[in-house]
Structure 1
Amino acid sequence: MQPASGSDGDDGRSVGDGGPQRIGWFRYFFDEDRWEWSPEVERLHGYEPGTVNPTTELVLSHKHPDDFRQVADTIDMIRRRRQAFRSRHRIRDAHGNVHFVAVLGDELRNESGEVVGTYGFYVDLTAEERVHQSQMTTELLRIAERRSAIEQAKGMLMMVYNIDEGAAFNLLRWRSQEANIKLVRLAEQLVADFRQANHSGDLSRARYDQLFMTAHERAR
């Protein structure tokens, strides 16, 4: 295992220091107890890509002590129940820097349709909520009034997850590819879903997570 150099752009920065947002994917195979990390997730944990083989032990070793039990219980739960999950917690990278992350996982199925693991993404978040729910609602509605579907969806994801434009587009593109659905159709569904959530007053971050990961099912 080789820690990533702190001099390489975004590496070695804590979330609250104004560094760029990072998004990366992961996969976890239950029976093999095997993890796969994208290069972005490796860097998020402080390692150069290709220099670490993630294990459950390694994953847990990076959790903030105050969040360790929550994450350990979540991993145990998804192994037993084989279901989707979401988590918000802190990690310590190989350099000791603390990152606030959102992790969202969906069911990973084999060719027979059997759930064999979970897959999803990490979002590197800031330490504080910058936007109150009322401000978020106003901004989401403003975005929806004047942009195309993809631009609207990007803007909404930027507000909900507090990420930059490039990260929002990468998130949309990743979900489009994983769900095998056209990007514009996915964006249209997300915009409709987010508008409905605002109209109904259901503005919890967990609700937005659920809408994002299941939008492709309603867009068929």
Structure 2
Amino acid sequence: MTEERVGPADDTDALTGVFLFRVPEEAWWWSDDMCRLLGYDSDETPADDAMLDRHVHPDDREGIRRVWDRGLRTGTPFSTYYRLLTRDGQERHAVLVGDGRVDDDSVVVLRGFVVDVTEPVQRHAQESADVDIARARASQEDVDVARGVLMALYGVHEDVAFRVLRRHSQQTNVKLRTVARAVVEATPTPPGEGQHDLHLRIAQALYPED
């Protein structure tokens, strides 16, 4: 079987390994990319059950075995996500997809791919983290502004102003950032209203039911 490679030979980020298991003979065949994905040269690693199991994260081995056993029984398409361990102990993210060839109601071959998805998984995790950080920063900005408003309005220390916000949050069972946002939104003086109405607007934000 010939392979079409994309990218340099040592670029594991782009690797998609191919495997084939002949059930009656219990014989494996791995592509060169499969070997590289596990951290081996193609001529130095035996392809067998033990080798494959050794390169699956211990917490994911049961799931891999369950999917594999179902494939052996039925030959129907299967897939699973798991953490792959390379020869030098690096942890990568992979997806195993495959199916079986059935002959006389018996599965005679399992074949499929191991796709390295480390880069997109890490990119998604970073993007999610960036979003969470941005939200946290925005929330903190609202809290800081609201605290400043209460400090100016009531003439209190920043710690006291924060404790007022937190107390209202606890008492009303409303998240602190939501209380702070309400104070921030109530602060600007609407056209036609006097600045002296600020106290009333803040009170309404803190005590919306009164």
Q: Give me the TM-score of the superposition, normalised by structure 1.
A: 0.47
Looking at secondary structure, tell me which structure has more helix per residue.
Answer: 2
Which of the pair has the greater relative contact order for Cα pairs under 8 Å at 6+ separation?
1
Q: Give me the TM-score of the superposition, normalised by structure 2.
A: 0.49
